[in-house]
Homo-oligomer: A and B are copies of this chain.
Amino acid sequence: MQPVALLGLGIMGSGMAHNLLKAGFSLTVYNRSREKAAALESAGAQVVDTPKAAAESADVIIGMVANDEASRAIWLGDDGALSGVRSDALLIECSTLSTGWVRELAELAQGRGCAFLDAPVTGSKPVAESGQLGFLVGGDPAAFERARPVLAAMGEKINHLGPVGSGATMKLINNLMGGVQLAVLAEGMRLAEQAGLDMQQVVDLLSNGAPGSPLVKGKASRIAARDYETHFALRWMHKDLSYALDEATRHNVPLPTVAAAREIYRLAIGQGLGDQDFAAIAEVLRPKED
């Protein structure tokens, strides 16, 4: 079977790797801390110590890390994947990244003769585990067709958005909407609580009303319970809003509610909430006990 490398075994990457194995791909994995690779090793993956080693024998190389810095490290760092790629490899960046870095990386890949796709995912941990992720893909159509079987092993909704960077842009737009929807959900629920409403009723009404998006349905009761077990860390939402604002600067598009929300997420990080779920933005709005 086609040799695939996957770089980055966080919550999402691990789920994706298991599905690649299930689909029969010959899989090599790399993670900065090797412990996370143990379960995958048992499941049949080859574990290596550097991105370069993972890339060397792979036909398709997938990146799935936290941010631009981590992506830069796996591709360009010491023993980075780009130093080991075969000239006909296909590189797929599934991380949520700035479009600036995506385009820079695409050029470097081209310089090595490789095909490149940005293909950030939608969905959370259970969705990654069940192989039902969505992929928002940017890049040329031939590369997209070549990637399809690999992506299909990990997800269901595979959308080709346009040239390189289109997937990254669409992902940032998706997340900027989520970031602001959650901020205003937190604001509304804080007001409801302070005004003395029954919070279970508020959760039900908002979830089933006009603003009741899947995100609102999923987070409202957790905010009411002040349960911030991490599905998507607040610091990554802050990062995505920052990337979105950068993209908006590039295109001179005003994003006033995103700009306001980003500053509140940043206040949340300063209050030590960065590693909790992004729903913890609700805590910033609460009065502090003396």
Q: How far is the CA of A134 from the CA of B252 in the complex (A)?
A: 31
Of the candidates B195, B210, B272, the one whose C-beta lies within 8 Å of that of A213 is B210
| With known contacts A169-B192, A195-B247, A206-B174, A183–B256 Cβ distance under 8 A | yes
Name the segment of A10-18, A25-33, A146-154, A282-290 touching the other chain: A282-290
Query: Are B159 and A205 neighbours in the complex by a CB distance under 8 Å?
Result: yes
Q: Which residue of B lies closest to A185 (CB)?
A: B177
Interface size, A (range): 35 or more
Name the segment of A36-44, A53-61, A87-95, A260-268 touching the other chain: A260-268
Name the segment of A1-9, A73-81, A107-115, A196-204 touching the other chain: A196-204
A132 vs chain B, min Cβ distance (A): 13
Q: Is A70 an interface residue (CB 8 A)?
A: no
Query: Are B181 and A211 neighbours in the complex by a CB distance under 8 Å?
Result: yes
Q: How far is the CA of A77 from the CA of B234 in the complex (A)?
A: 39
Q: How far is the CA of A205 from the CA of B214 in the complex (A)?
A: 13
Q: Is A82 an interface residue (CB 8 A)?
A: no
Q: Which residue of B lies closest to A186 (CB)?
A: B257
Residues of B contacting A255 in the complex (Cβ-Cβ under 8 angstroms): 187, 191, 263
Q: Is A184 an interface residue (CB 8 A)?
A: yes
Count the copies: 4
Query: Are A201 and B266 neighbours in the complex by a CB distance under 8 Å?
Result: no
Q: Is A180 an interface residue (CB 8 A)?
A: yes
Q: Is A248 an interface residue (CB 8 A)?
A: yes
Query: Are B267 and A254 neighbours in the complex by a CB distance under 8 Å?
Result: yes
Q: Is A161 an interface residue (CB 8 A)?
A: yes
| With known contacts A122-B209, A178-B211, A187–B285 Cβ distance under 8 A | no
Query: Are B249 and A270 neighbours in the complex by a CB distance under 8 Å?
Result: no
Query: Are B256 and A187 neighbours in the complex by a CB distance under 8 Å?
Result: yes
Q: Is A45 an interface residue (CB 8 A)?
A: no
Q: How far is the CA of A170 from the CA of B204 in the complex (A)?
A: 12
Query: Are A210 and B205 neighbours in the complex by a CB distance under 8 Å?
Result: no
| With known contacts A181-B184, A191-B244, A174–B205 Cβ distance under 8 A | yes
